[in-house]
Structure 1
Amino acid sequence: MNQYISEQCRHLPERIRTRVYSVAVPPGTGSIRFALAMLVALKQMLLFPFRRRPDIVHVHSAQWHSFYQSSWYVLIASFVWRRPVVLHVHGSSFDEFLDVDSLPIQLLQSAVFSASDVVVALSDGWADVLEEHIDPRKVVVLHNAVDVSDYDPSFSVSPVRISFVSNHIERKGIRELVDAVDQLAEEESLDITIAGKGSLSHLAEDLADSRAGVEYAGFISEESKRELLNQSTVNVLPTYAEGVPIAILEAMAGGNAIVSTDVGGIPSVVDETNGVLVEPGDADELADALRTLLSDPDRIRSMAKESRRRVEMSHSWRTVSDDLTELYDSLVPRERETADAPPATDEPYASK
């Protein structure tokens, strides 16, 4: 979400001025950290209604606590400020959140969706999920995007280079990746770089220590990440749950065939023409998919070029910022005015 909001503001036309109201809280665990986070969040909520009113409020939200926090801003913007609200739904498990049995949570969801003028989905699949709970006329698909010009893919398959760039946590499938690579390393030489950090990083470190051709890069900078994706031609993300991952779009911009899972919005950007999708949690199927691709470098190159073409066509900021601008413009004439409301600025909030 942070990355999206930053890029969103950077790529909008100059005539649209933006102000970001960050609702980030101090990270960490434990009762003291939790209490501090609650105090910071409460302060942010209490100060928000007294800020200058924009023309539009764009609220970014995921599931559970993110939604509870975002609800305040949606309701204040709609019922106190009387401004149009765009609720932008991110989050890998928002479908599970919508199906919760709790009546109070269901009522809150209904109130927030009713107060929102537009609810943004990341893909057609996610739009279908949202439309089961929201007036379909409110749901709009707005793709995640990357700055394609930041990438200069090599499309090299001599040798085939494989990359994984993500958090080393259970949900991202790092265990399955390590198991699959370990299987393949017994059969043939590999060239794979595993980047990122997390609670399960020791799995990648141990694999790199025991298998030739496996590099554990740890946390890498944005520049190093782009270079890695430019030089690799197969990117792997065996995730358990996602919206539409920026990580996959970045790998596509870098000219990679994608090996991932059939979850969330991933099938909206990856199919048989630019990658392979497997079941989450299945290391053997993941190994088979990689094995099949490695045996056909020409297929990998074709997939990598299709990935680049696809992200240029539908997921570049040039295209998405035009769609977002059109969405903003459609909302301003429908601004709900009150007699005592102060003049609005021409600035939409991008709130998270």
Structure 2
Amino acid sequence: MSRRRAVWVSTSTGTLGGVATYVRTMQRTPLWGEWDIRHVATHRDGSVATRVIVFLGGATAFVRELLLHRPAVVHLHTASYGSFARKSLLAWAARGARVPVVLHVHGGAFRDFYRAAPWLVRRYVRATLQMADAVVALGETWQRMLQEISPGARVVVIPNAVRPGAPVEQPGPGETVRVLFLGSIHEAKGAFLLLDAWRRLGDARRGPPADLVMAGNGAVDEARAKVADLGLADQVRVTGWVPQRQVETLLRGSHVLVLPSFAEGQPMALLEAMAQGLCVVASSVGGIPDLIDGECGVLVPPGDGDALVAALCTVLADPELRSRLGGRALDRVRERFDVDRVWRAIDGLYEDVTA
């Protein structure tokens, strides 16, 4: 068995969402070469037939890696529901081949998935988590949740990773503030709550002019229709999905990121905004409080439109506050979420589980 070969299993790096972004980020670190990592995709956006074909092809490639190359460790990136079903099967296959398993839990719906599952499925989830040599949680909030589900599991915290940049320059008094929503345009992400709040800002705001860009896939046409119905076409632009290479351009051209989600894991969009020194307004759900607090951002209760309006009014009217919060958010990225710190944490975990 090679001591320096690992297999990563996740969605395709071309898939929309945070897991694909995370994998692409880690591919550009020394970890990839030092552990001779092979990436196997078991999911891709597309029709049911496409997803089935991709999973069967990925599962075949995974078994081939186990049998022919005997990796030192397999690292499976899972979310909930179908994702967990797919990755858990591969985890048990690796266990049968006596290859150490790292199960990396992403996504904000895992607790709901577990609670809604039938008794037998919950028992299977607990057994799978306990079987893994290590379960990776993105933050302390999710570590506690996973430990409650499976008390016998070994759960370690390794956060998502991002490369810190230079802070954006905030506009001065009277200059236009550009606000960005970056993520799936759905109710669960608070996209339509945000549009309602933005309409109310016209009456409540006493600060500078502002505009809003909403970038992401999902209910794009519905969001555009609502923008028109609310009379916000001169203030709000819904771009739809944008390729990853344009995300940084969007971030660098913005001053505030707003993410009023109802459920989250540890959103990469929020981390990417922190890494550029944007002022962040987000809901206090899931793993978001593991990323920001009142020292480096503004948290609002999920679903609270009044609190969202008040938070946006505050940051839009105060350039010094935006700069201070954005600077502290960037400092936090450098201290905790810098990709150079995170890949070394994974390297240390591999050394531990393969010892």
- Structure 1: runs of 5+ lacking an equivalent: 334-352
The aligned residue for residue 10 of structure 2 is none
Contact preservation (8 Å) 1:56, 1:84: yes
Q: Which of 251, 256, 269 lines up with 1:229 in the alignment? A: 251
> Aligned AA for 1:5?
V
* CA-to-aligned-CA distance 1:23-80 (integer Å, 9 cap, x gap): 015623xxxx35x64455345435532332210000111111111111111001112x
* CA-to-aligned-CA distance 1:314-337 (integer Å, 9 cap, x gap): 11111101111111111221xxxx
The aligned residue for residue 62 of structure 1 is 79
* CA-to-aligned-CA distance 1:235-290 (integer Å, 9 cap, x gap): 10111111000000011112111111111000011111122111222222211111
Contact preservation (8 Å) 1:156, 1:231: no
Report deviation, 1:146: 1.1
Within-5 A mapping of 1:1-352: 1-13=19-31, 14-25=33-44, 27-28=46-47, 33=48, 37-38=51-52, 40-46=54-60, 48-51=62-65, 52-79=69-96, 81-100=97-116, 102-135=118-151, 138-149=154-165, 153-157=168-172, 158-188=175-205, 189-204=209-224, 206-207=226-227, 210-211=231-232, 212-333=234-355
Report deviation, 1:204: 4.0
Match of 2:354, SS? helix
> Aligned AA for 2:59?
M
Match of 2:298, SS? strand
The CA distance in 1 between the partners of 2:199 and 2:81, in whole Å, is 36
Report deviation, 1:104: 1.7
Which shows bigger deviation, 175-184 or 153-162? 153-162
> Aligned AA for 1:98?
Y
Cα 1:49–1:227 change in 2 (3 A) is: closer
Greater relative contact order (Cα 8 A, min sep 6): structure 1 or 2? 1
The alignment's C-alpha RMSD in Å is 2.2
The aligned residue for residue 348 of structure 1 is none
Report deviation, 1:136: 6.0
The CA distance in 2 between the partners of 1:112 and 1:178, in whole Å, is 41
Contact preservation (8 Å) 1:160, 1:297: no
> Aligned AA for 2:272?
E
Cα 1:132–1:308 change in 2 (3 A) is: same
The aligned residue for residue 341 of structure 1 is none
Deviating above 4 A after TM superposition, structure 1's stretches of 4 or more consecutive aligned residues are: none
Match of 2:28, SS? helix
Cα 1:57–1:127 change in 2 (3 A) is: same
Match of 2:149, SS? coil
> Aligned AA for 1:199?
A
Which shows bigger deviation, 317-326 or 92-101? 92-101
The CA distance in 1 between the partners of 2:91 and 2:80, in whole Å, is 15
* CA-to-aligned-CA distance 1:114-138 (integer Å, 9 cap, x gap): 3200000000010010111224661
Contact preservation (8 Å) 2:214, 2:240: yes
Cα 1:42–1:107 change in 2 (3 A) is: farther
- Structure 2: runs of 5+ lacking an equivalent: 1-18
The CA distance in 1 between the partners of 2:141 and 2:295, in whole Å, is 19
Cα 1:208–1:304 change in 2 (3 A) is: farther
The CA distance in 1 between the partners of 2:295 and 2:61, in whole Å, is 50
Cα 1:99–1:12 change in 2 (3 A) is: farther
The CA distance in 1 between the partners of 2:237 and 2:121, in whole Å, is 45
Contact preservation (8 Å) 2:170, 2:319: no
Contact preservation (8 Å) 1:208, 1:215: no
Report deviation, 1:161: 2.3
Match of 1:99, SS? helix
The CA distance in 1 between the partners of 2:339 and 2:143, in whole Å, is 20
Which shows bigger deviation, 98-107 or 85-94? 98-107
Cα 1:222–1:104 change in 2 (3 A) is: same
How many percent identity over aligned positions? 32
Contact preservation (8 Å) 2:210, 2:235: yes
